Each structure stands twice: as C-alpha cells, then as structure tokens.
C-alpha cells in the first residue's frame, strides 16, 4: 500500500477496534466463567468488598498523590487526600482491626474535598463554566476517597437488606464516576471511539444494579452480575488504553515524568473494577451468600 | 542541517512532515507537461487550494520560494535560528507610516506563514462581508457571509481547531472539533480584567490540538508556537493541507521562486518562469494561480507585464497592488503582582472581541472593529519591543527584562481602512533573480488613529482592572490584507468573486491579497475559508464547462 503523507483521516479507529476486541474476549470470558463456576463457592462478600475498597483506595492514592504533587501541595490540606487514601487502602488490605475512625475520616475528608474542589473551580474567572470544569480541580474526584471509606466500612455488611443498600449505593457511585468520565472524555473530544465505552457500559451496569436494589429479582440477577463482570473487564482494558494514551503524548513513555501527569490518568479506569467488585458483593449478599 | 539549501521534494519523494527524516511518495510533472494548475505559494491560500484541486482530480504543481521543513527535526527552540521561516528579502518600505516586514506579516516556507502563525482561529463578523451596505464604511465583499461561514466550518474541521463550547459574540458557530485549551495565567489576566469591566471574554479558538489527533500529539504548551511548532501539535497548512495535496497527487516544488507569469498573444497565461536549484525553468500550465500573499502576488503580476498589458497582468483597473491593509497591533504591557510566566502555552489564549460587535456606543468614534488578546512574547521578541518602543537600554533594559515573568500584556488586532494609495509597486532595485523588489507605500488615516487611541485606553483600563501597574504602551502593525482585491466591479477590483482575474480568464488569485476589507481579527482562517470556497467554485466552473469563458 502506498504510504500516506497525511495525518490520519479518521479517529484512532484501529486502536479502538483492538481495545474493543480485547474487551469482548476478556468480558466474554468473565461472563462465561461466571456460568461455569456457579456451583463453586464464591469468595465471601466481605472479601470482595475489602478488595473493592483496596482497589478504589489505591486508584485514589495514585491519582491524588500525582495530581496534588503536580499542584505543588500549595495548600497543605492537599496532603490529606493521598494520606487517607493510603491509610484506608492499607486498612482494607491488611484487614486491620479498629479501622473505623480511619475509614470514617476518609469519608469526611472526601466530602470536604468536594467543597475544596468546588471552591477551586468557582474562584477562577468564569466560575462554573465548561473550561473550569475541564481544567480546574476535578469536581467529582474527592468523592472517590469518600467511596473508598464507605466501601471499607461496608465490608461488615452481611444481610440481604445490606446487600440492597450496597447495590443502590454502588449504582449511584458508578453513575457519578460515569459523569466524571463523560466530562473528561468530552474534554478529550472523544478522539478515540473507545472513549465512549466507559460512558456506555457503566450506566447499564448501574441501571441493572439499581433495579436489584429497588426490586430484588433473582431472574434478572444474572444479567446484573454479567454487567458487573463486563464493567470490571472494561476497567482492565481501560487501563491499557490509558497506558497507550500516555504514549501518544509528545515523547511518549520516554518522557514519563511529564506525560504520566499530562496524559490520561493510568490509575483511573481501575475504579470501575472496584465498583464492579462492590456490585457483585451486593448481589451476593442479596442472594444470601455466606 | 537546520537550513535547507537544496530542494527536498525531488525524485518522486517529499519530506514526511510527521517524521524526523522520512519521505513520502510524490507525483511529479515535467516542465513540458501542461498541468491544470500552477499555484504560486503554498500557504493558507495556495496550500488549501492545491489540496482541494488535486483531490478533485486536477493536475497541480504548487511552488514555494521557501523550504519544505520537517518540524520534528528542523525547528529549534531559538528565536534567531527560526528567522528562517520569515520572508526577509529586502523590500523598499516608505510612506507616512512605513511598514516593517518580517515575523508577523510574512512567511517563506512550504505551508506559508501558517508555519509560524500564532494559531488564532477567529472568524470575521458576518456584517463585515457587507461593510459598506450594512455598516457604512469601506466596501462590500462579493460573497455572502453565510457562504463564508460554511467554509469556516470546513477549514476549522480540517485544522481541528480547539475552541470554546460557547463563543460570546456573533451567530452560533456550532461546536469546535476540539475543546479549548486551559487558559494560561496571561490569559487569565485578560479574563479577570474583562470580568471586572463587565465585558465578555473567551478562550481563544486555536489551531493546536488539545487531544491527540492521529500523528499530532496534543499541545505541550512549550510556547514556541510563534517560531514554528516542533511537536506538530500546531495544525498548520504544512501538516494539514500539504500532506493532503501530496496524497491526492499534487506536486510541491520547494525552494522554487516564481519570477514571471508568461502569456501568449491572446493574453492568456501559459505557465510560470521559475528558479530552482540554480536553474531557470518554465512550467507549462493551463491555469496559473497567484497565492504569494499581499506583497508577492502584486509584485509577480506587476513583473509579468507584457505588450498587451504594459502596466502589469490583470491590471487594467490599476488596482493591482492597491488597497493594501494591515492590522493595528498596538499593545499595553503591565507588571503584575503574581508570577505570570506568559511564555507558557500558545501566546494568545484569551481574547476579547467586544469592540468588533458594537456599532452604536457613545465612546466608539471609529469605523471597523478590533479584537485584542493576551500576550506571551518570547524573550528576544519582548526585548526588541521594549527597545524599539521606549528606547531603554543597558541597566534599565536589564531591569525591565528581569520583570519578564511578572508581565502581562494585551495586544489589539485592529481593522484599517482600504485606501488606494496604500500600495505595492515595483522598485528599481532588483533581487538576486533580477526581479524588481517590492516597493510598499503605507500611511495610516484618521480612523486608524482614532481606533488606536480607543483601543489603547480600553486595554489599559482592562489591565489596570486586572491588577496591572506600571503600564507601557507600544505600537506596531501585523498581518497583510488586500493588494489584489476581489469585487463585483471590474473597474475597482482585480478579480471576480471566484478569484479569477477580470483581464485574464485563466489567471487566478487565491490568498489574503483578495480581501477587500481587513476585519478586526487575525486573517488566516478567513484566507483559508476563502481558498476552500474558491476551490469549490473552480470545480463547479469546470464541471459546467465555463472555466474557459472569457469575460471582463
């Protein structure tokens, strides 16, 4: 084929096709395995929730540490986010006792962070306009820390009613995360068609989960579970896309010291894995699993 | 080798602008092949036209006096080195207000001045296309604004302009292909000032991508845009339309200086005489298009005089070279309390078109309009501004330059009136090719002076409202428009609305020299939109078999 002089005519369809193919294989395998492993005992919801909190916490730790470091920690309060994300992650991973105050602080600091970020947006010229929503402190990000704390606290859940509450909460957290992704992928002008995936799959997963929370229905629970698995697979593939995205910055990974900050956040897509685990834990609880 | 002294687009290969040293295949034509179009110039006019005509199946050779750069390996972060992008051949400049030529009104590269433009991608206000009938000054364009706006859409998509979601002025313009960039601190000074004064402001629509686009990585805000982007984030004609032209089978002849358009006994153009690689050559062509911008296009037409047209080709109306316009480019600079580091990012990230869209205001004592933008001059550029405007030197210059990181500035792009006496003629002195140098005569009129006074006062007020102190005013001009204007009347214009000269049916003009008025915005998008429109007109004329129609 004659080499082309021009820039690519279309969006980055080749990488998108590759990624969507990977997602189909990975997500398909995850859903098929779910059927096959049905008779085997599942991991306990408690373990799933702890894992969920740990993954969400690790994602928050990396993201807030990098972004606040980039901001030079010019406000000392910016240290709180990575410190608490680290504490909650460790607490959830190590199954340390008496962690309630730590996780509760994470929830409180995450909620307070929403105020800080809101203030950062509002104080810029133009206030709450698109440009500031794109480039000022990310409006929803501190919510991730609060979700980490809440997931860790929820690991004591053990009744079907708890399961319904957790399903509702996870569905809402998934929708909030989707909104943040939509904002940032819109900022990126959807330059890769695969950028539409995380605003398509999660709302479906959230809707199925919300349905279970409001009207528990064993017949459609399998679909809800499949959607969670697909969303988890999307988190894996999304991480791959973000690694690829960094490589598309000027200088690629050779210039990681700048591009890891300026490119798409590599740690971000894994939060969908955490939410999927939490969703599955909720469904387990509703099914009366041990 | 940083300077390209020998042509690079040779032997069926052209530089791959997205690589450090690769080439891409290029179709080539013999001088004896009568090509459909010989286009002189490859910038916002010629580059766009070459791509679109080649894509329509015409055989096209596009000439440029400048080099064919590969930005990734040829562009240095050095203001002096990058002067290789400007047209610095001497020109004779006189009149009451002689123009200075160089960085901000000329280019000499494949891709033209878009290789070093500041990427400001603004549109004309709709009313300006009918300035005489709707606003009462200057002259109407022979084109309806809605048609031009459709072509703005087209070229903005082709250049993946990064712009705001809502633009405060003028009719709705749809969504820019990419989102606006984060406004840098220099731009936020404008924003704060505008909010304090209660006028609108906007992130400037820019021709540099805010997210990956194929082989173009997103802008990394190095701030060297004005001396040539070395990452290819900038969507210049060199990386957008020129590769398209190559793919479609056009030939680009770099370092090829066209000196004369030849004509036959009937007065029709037969091709172009040009110099390349030490040789004098002649390319046969069915049509010739001048796209050398407001100085070189008139110069070429005037230098192509023949027995039938002794005052210059297409000059029966004595309009070639006349109605040359510039933009007033006065600026206000101030010291800020905060560190600004204005060199970060594209130089003009915030803009204000307030006075472009106001007609009846007790303060407005001038015709036309002006926009102004935040500034981020590189150090040498800024030092030169200081020295030439205030004469500071030695310790005082050092003290002023030490404030570089705390400076902010606002600079206007102000419309000047088309005036027949502001013109390009031929000097007696000749250049290395024996072509008479351009002689440019320019004088501002009272309207220019009133607008300049108004803009300086308003920009000063805004800078002070943003917290600026120790204000400094500087004067300058930028951009060129007119010189071979199009129009509806063969008596007062060089070409019709299609860019075809009234006198020579197969001779066309397609660049900024066509512009009948200058407008109060940077001209590149208007030149590109007009070129895209002319390309479609040529396709239509050829399809209907009327391209050969003699007229005038």
Distances (CA, A) of B394 to A77, B34, B386, B397, B401: 46, 60, 12, 5, 11
Distances (CA, A) of A113 to A104, A116, A130, A177: 14, 5, 20, 16
**CB proximity B240 to A under 8 Å:** yes
CATH number at B59 reads 3.50.50.60
User: Residue A96's pLDDT is what?
Assistant: 78
Interface test with A, best of B188, B217, B408 (most A CBs within 10 A): B217
CA distance B247 to chain A (A): 6
**CB proximity A7 to B under 8 Å:** yes
Residues of chain A with C-beta less than 8 angstroms from the C-beta of B233: 250
Scanning A188-217 for CB atoms below 8 A from B yields 188-189, 191-192
Q: What is the maximal distance between C-alpha atoms in chain B?
A: 70
pLDDT band at A4 (very low <50, low <70, confident <90, very high): confident
Give me the number of domains chain B comprises: 1
B551 part of a folded domain: no
Record: contact B243-A7, CB cut-off 8 A: yes
Residues of chain B with C-beta less than 8 angstroms from the C-beta of A3: 16, 24-25
Shortest CB distance from A5 goes to which of B24, B180, B214? B24
What is the distance, to the nearest Å, from the Cα of residue B517 to the centroid of all Cα atoms in its chain? Answer: 14
Which tokens go with A77?
């309060």
Record: contact B246-A12, CB cut-off 8 A: no
Helices and strands (DSSP H and E) totals, chain A:
11, 0
Number of residues in chain B? 552
Shortest CB distance from B246 goes to which of A5, A12, A258? A5
Shortest CB distance from A250 goes to which of B179, B188, B217? B217
Residues of chain B with C-beta less than 8 angstroms from the C-beta of A249: 212, 217-218, 220
Interface test with A, best of B218, B223, B249, B374 (most A CBs within 10 A): B218
Q: Which residue of A has its CA nearest to B183?
A: A131
Record: contact A125-B213, CB cut-off 8 A: no
B113 closest CA partner among B123, B122, B103 = B103
A with B: how many residue pairs have Cβ under 8 Å apart?
A: 94
- C-alpha torsion A46→A51→A54→A56, nearest 10: -110
**CB proximity B179 to A under 8 Å:** yes
B552 part of a folded domain: no
**pLDDT of A35 higher than 80:** no
B547 part of a folded domain: no
Shortest CB distance from A6 goes to which of B210, B212, B243? B243
Query: Cα–Cα distance between B43 and B33 in angstroms, integer?
Result: 24
**CB proximity B287 to A under 8 Å:** no
Query: Cα–Cα distance between B204 and B197 in angstroms, integer?
Result: 19
Shortest CB distance from B24 goes to which of A3, A186, A245? A3
Report helix, strand or coil for B293: helix
B3 part of a folded domain: no
Q: Which domain holds residue B152?
A: 13-541
Q: Are B164 and B542 in contact (CB under 8 A)?
A: no
Which tokens go with B112?
């033209």
In the block, residue with structure tokens 């809440």: A150
- In sequence order, which residues have a C-beta less than 8 Å from that of residue B183 and are 6 or more positions away? A125, A131, A135, B191, B203, B349, B350
CA distance A112 to chain B (A): 25
pTM of the predicted structure, to 2 decimals: 0.95
Q: What is the CA radius of gyration of chain A?
A: 20
CA distance B181 to chain A (A): 8
Residues of chain B with C-beta less than 8 angstroms from the C-beta of A248: 212, 217-218
Helices and strands (DSSP H and E) totals, chain B:
10, 22
CA distance B231 to chain A (A): 7
Record: contact A258-B220, CB cut-off 8 A: yes
Query: Cα–Cα distance between B242 and B427 in angstroms, integer?
Result: 33
Which tokens go with A265?
């956040």
**CB proximity B192 to A under 8 Å:** yes
- pLDDT per residue, tens digit, chain B (552 aa), is 445 689 999 999 999 999 999 999 999 999 999 999 999 999 999 999 999 999 999 999 999 999 999 999 999 999 999 999 999 999 999 999 999 998 888 899 999 999 999 999 999 999 999 999 999 999 999 999 999 999 999 999 999 999 999 999 999 999 999 999 999 999 999 999 999 999 999 999 999 999 999 999 999 999 999 999 999 999 999 999 999 999 999 999 999 999 999 999 999 999 999 999 999 999 999 999 999 999 999 999 999 999 999 999 999 999 999 999 999 999 999 999 999 999 999 999 999 999 999 999 999 999 999 999 999 999 999 999 999 998 999 999 999 999 999 999 999 999 999 999 999 999 999 999 999 999 999 999 999 999 999 999 999 999 999 999 999 999 999 999 999 999 999 999 999 999 999 999 999 999 999 999 999 999 999 999 999 999 999 999 988 876 554 443
**CB proximity A220 to B under 8 Å:** no
What is the interface pTM, i.e. ipTM, of the complex?
0.93
Record: contact A7-B246, CB cut-off 8 A: no
B1 part of a folded domain: no
**Long-range contacts formed by B27-32: CB under 8 A, 24+ apart:** B27/B249, B27/B250, B27/B251, B28/B251, B29/B59, B29/B61, B29/B251, B29/B283, B31/B281, B31/B282, B31/B283, B31/B284, B32/B284
Record: contact B212-A245, CB cut-off 8 A: yes
């Amino acid at each position: 084929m004659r080499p082309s002089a021009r820039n690519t005519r279309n969006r980055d369809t080749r990488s998108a096709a590759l990624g969507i193919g990977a997602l189909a294989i990975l997500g398909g395998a995850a859903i098929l395995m779910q059927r096959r492993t049905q008779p085997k005992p599942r991991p306990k919801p408690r373990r799933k929730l702890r894992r969920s909190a740990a993954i969400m916490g690790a994602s928050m730790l990396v993201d807030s540490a990098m972004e606040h470091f980039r901001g030079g920690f010019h406000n000392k309060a910016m240290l709180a986010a990575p410190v608490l994300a680290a504490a909650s992650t460790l607490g959830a991973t190590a199954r340390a006792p008496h962690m309630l105050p730590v996780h509760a602080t994470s929830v409180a600091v995450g909620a307070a962070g929403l105020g800080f970020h809101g203030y950062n947006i509002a104080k810029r010229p133009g206030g709450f306009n698109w440009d500031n929503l794109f480039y000022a402190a990310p409006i929803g990000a501190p919510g991730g820390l609060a979700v980490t704390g809440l997931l860790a606290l929820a690991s004591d859940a053990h009744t079907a009613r708890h399961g319904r509450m957790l399903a509702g909460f996870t569905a809402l957290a998934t929708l909030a995360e989707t909104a943040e992704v939509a904002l940032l992928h819109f900022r990126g002008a959807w330059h890769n068609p695969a950028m539409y995936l995380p605003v398509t799959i999660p709302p479906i997963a959230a809707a199925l989960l919300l349905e279970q929370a409001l009207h528990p229905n064993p017949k459609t629970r399998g679909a809800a579970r499949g959607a969670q698995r697909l969303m988890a697979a999307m988190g894996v593939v999304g991480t791959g896309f973000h690694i690829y995205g960094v490589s598309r910055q000027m200088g690629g990974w050779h210039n990681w010291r700048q591009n890891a900050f300026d490119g798409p956040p590599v740690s971000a897509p894994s939060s969908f894995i955490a939410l999927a685990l939490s969703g599955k834990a909720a469904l387990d609880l509703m099914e009366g699993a041990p | 080798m940083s300077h390209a002294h020998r042509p690079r687009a040779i032997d069926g290969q052209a530089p791959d602008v997205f690589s450090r040293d690769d080439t891409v295949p290029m179709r080539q034509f013999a001088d004896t092949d009568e090509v459909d179009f010989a286009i002189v110039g490859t910038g916002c006019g010629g580059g766009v036209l070459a791509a679109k005509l080649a894509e329509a199946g015409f055989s096209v050779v596009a000439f440029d006096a400048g080099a064919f750069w590969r930005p990734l390996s040829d562009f240095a972060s050095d203001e002096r080195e990058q002067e290789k992008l400007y047209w610095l051949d001497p020109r004779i400049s006189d009149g009451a207000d002689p123009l200075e030529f160089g960085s901000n009104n000329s280019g000499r590269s494949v891709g033209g001045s878009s290789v070093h433009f500041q990427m400001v991608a603004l549109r004309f206000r709709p009313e300006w296309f009918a300035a005489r009938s709707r606003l009462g000054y200057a002259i109407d364009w022979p084109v309806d604004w809605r048609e031009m706006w459709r072509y703005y859409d087209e070229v903005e998509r082709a250049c993946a302009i990064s712009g705001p979601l809502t633009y405060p002025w003028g009719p709705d313009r749809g969504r820019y292909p990419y989102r606006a960039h984060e406004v840098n601190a220099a731009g936020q000074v404008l924003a704060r000032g505008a909010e304090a004064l209660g006028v609108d402001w906007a992130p400037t629509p820019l021709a540099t991508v805010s997210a990956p686009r194929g082989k173009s990585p997103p802008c990394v805000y190095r701030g060297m845009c004005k001396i040539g982007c070395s990452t290819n984030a900038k969507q210049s004609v060199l990386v957008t339309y020129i590769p398209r032209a190559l793919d479609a089978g056009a030939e680009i002849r770099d370092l090829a200086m066209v000196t004369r358009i030849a004509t036959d006994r009937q007065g029709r153009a037969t091709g172009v005489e040009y110099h390349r690689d030490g040789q004098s050559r002649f390319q046969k062509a069915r049509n010739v298009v001048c796209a050398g911008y407001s100085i070189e296009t008139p110069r070429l037409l005037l230098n192509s005089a023949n027995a039938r047209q002794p005052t210059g080709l297409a000059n029966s109306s004595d309009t070639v070279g006349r109605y040359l316009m510039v933009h007033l480019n006065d600026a206000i600079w101030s010291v800020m309390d905060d560190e600004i580091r204005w060199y970060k990012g594209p130089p003009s990230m915030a803009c204000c078109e307030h006075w472009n869209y106001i007609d009846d205001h007790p303060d407005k004592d001038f015709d036309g309009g002006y926009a102004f933008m935040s500034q981020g001059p590189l150090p040498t550029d800024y030092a030169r501004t200081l020295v030439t405007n205030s004469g500071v030197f030695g310790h005082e210059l050092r003290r002023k330059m030490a404030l570089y990181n705390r400076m902010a500035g606002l600079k206007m792009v102000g419309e000047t009136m088309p005036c027949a006496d502001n013109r390009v003629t031929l000097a007696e002195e000749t250049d290395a090719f024996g072509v008479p140098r351009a002689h440019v005569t320019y004088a501002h009129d009272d309207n220019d002076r009133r607008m300049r006074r108004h803009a300086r006062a308003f920009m000063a007020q805004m800078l002070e409202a943003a917290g600026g102190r120790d204000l400094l005013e500087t004067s300058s001009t930028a951009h060129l428009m007119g010189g071979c204007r199009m129009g509806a009347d063969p008596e007062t214009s060089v070409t019709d609305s299609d860019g075809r000269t009234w006198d020579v049916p197969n001779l066309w003009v397609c660049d900024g020299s066509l512009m009948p008025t200058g407008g109060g915005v940077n001209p590149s998008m208007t030149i590109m939109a007009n070129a895209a429109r002319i390309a479609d007109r040529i396709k239509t004329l050829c399809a209907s078999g009327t391209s050969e129609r003699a007229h005038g």
